[in-house]
């Protein structure tokens, strides 16, 4: 049975299935088990700029501005719910989800996973701060973004 909330947001079952299948196909090309993927919801107009310049954030805490997209299973074992969540982003029903990819923490590193993840954030120069942003996740960690209305990944 189709989740009524998903159907309302995405349209018919066929539309929902098509978008999910499209997203699965597009993500398969970037999925790498050596990376951890996170998502950040935003407006579609902002996504291209974030892709080019990085994601400016207020707090030096990756998990306060993004959420994990996948678990540690192989790609073909990822539950469909992960893809549904991307297409129905819970935070403000965002029309775009920026996809971040952070290399897995090396086994020989003893800093703790949260410290490791937060180390990707860089402090902004004072003149670059805005919207209370003081840090940036550099564009090298951004793989692209998903248009949640079409299921396309750019």
Structure tokens at 6: 């998903």
**Three-class SS string for the chain?**
CCCHHHHHHHCCHHHHHHHHHHHHHHHHCCCCCCEEEEEEEECCCCHHHHHHHCEEECCCCHHHHCEECCCCCCHHHCCHHHHHHHHCCCCCCCCEEEEEEEECCCCCCCCCHHHHHHCCCEECCHHHCCCCCCEEECHHHEEEEEECCCCCEC
pLDDT at 12: 40
pLDDT at 91: 81
pLDDT at 3: 41
Question: How far is 80 from 139, CA to CA, in rounded Å?
Answer: 28
User: Using only C-alpha atoms, what is the Rg of the chain?
Assistant: 16
pLDDT at 129: 60
pLDDT at 110: 84
Residue recorded with tokens 């805490």 = 61
pLDDT at 1: 34
pLDDT at 128: 64
pLDDT tens-digit readout, 95-131: 999 999 999 988 888 888 899 999 999 999 876 666 6
Residues in the chain where the model's pLDDT stays below 70: 1-14, 127-131
């Amino acid at each position: 049975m189709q989740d009524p909330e998903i159907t309302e947001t995405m349209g018919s079952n066929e539309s929902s299935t098509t978008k999910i299948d499209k997203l699965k196909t597009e993500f398969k090309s970037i999925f790498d088990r050596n990376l951890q993927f996170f998502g950040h919801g935003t407006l579609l107009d902002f996504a291209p700029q974030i892709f080019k310049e990085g994601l400016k954030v207020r707090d030096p805490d990756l998990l306060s501005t993004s959420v994990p997209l996948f678990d540690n299973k192989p790609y073909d074992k990822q539950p469909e719910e992960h893809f549904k969540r991307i297409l129905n982003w819970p935070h403000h029903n965002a029309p775009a989800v920026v996809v971040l990819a952070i290399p897995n923490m090396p086994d020989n590193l003893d800093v703790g996973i949260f410290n490791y993840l937060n180390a990707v954030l860089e402090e902004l120069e004072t003149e670059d701060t805005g919207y209370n942003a003081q840090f940036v996740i550099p564009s090298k960690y951004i793989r692209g973004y998903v248009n949640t209305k079409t299921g396309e990944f750019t």
